Structure 1
Amino acid sequence: MPATKPDTADPVIVDLRPMIPPERHATVFAALDALAPGATFVLINDHAPLPLLRRIEETWPDVFTVEFLQDGPVVWQVAITRSRG
């Protein structure tokens, strides 16, 4: 899945809700790999993605910042940005 370029105003949306669970993490990891420095994508999920966010931090320490845009109770939206450095 392509990610936004740093100069693109609108981030890519990665909506996990219609996916089966085995596809979800692989989709997010592919989006992270494709994310350019300074770019952001918004993850949408039907539950708080806390285990996934912990795994991202363990796998890529200090590479991504996370901002909760919507914190439930039905939909969670999380902006994930790759650091510029």
Structure 2
Amino acid sequence: MTTLDVREIPPVNRHDRIHEAFHALDPGESLTIVNDHDPQPLYYEMAAEIPEFDEDGYEVEQEGPERFVANLPKEA
């Protein structure tokens, strides 16, 4: 599993960095991101644009007011 904390990345660059990290995964692996807000727009973007994104395995948990941890699995 790869973890990427995007809270310190400028918002305009976050999705590009997440996509790069996701594409570097092997099939069956997951990317965990730590974000300062609910990454629901990212979920919709990935579901629409990335066939390898496992929508059914997606999970997000709010661990604090500005800490959301999302699991973005890549289909095997």
Structure 1 and Structure 2 fold alike (TM over 0.5): yes
Identity of aligned residues (%): 27
Deviations 1:22-50 (A, max 9, x none): 11010011011111111112110000011
Which of structures 1 and 2 has the larger relative contact order (alpha carbons within 8 angstroms, sep 6+)? 2
Q: Give the Å deviation of 1:67.
A: 1.1
Provide the TM-score with structure 2 as the length reference: 0.85
Structure 1: which 5+ runs fail to align?
1-10
Pairwise CA RMSD of aligned residues?
Answer: 1.5
Structure 2 unaligned runs (5+)? Answer: none
Matched, 1:76 2:68: yes
Q: Distance in 1 between the 2:75 and 2:6 partners? A: 23
Correspondence for 1:14: 4
User: TM-score of the superposition, structure 1-length normalised?
Assistant: 0.77
Which residue of the partner structure matches residue 18 of structure 2? Answer: 28
Structure 1 position 59, deviation (Å): 0.2
Task: Look up the equivalent residue of 1:63 and give its one-letter code.
Answer: F
2:34 alignment counterpart:
44
Q: How many matched pairs? A: 73
Checking the alignment, whether the CA contact within 8 Å between 2:58 and 2:72 is kept in structure 1 is: yes
SS of corresponding position for 1:79: strand
**2: CA distance between counterparts of 1:12 and 1:54?**
21
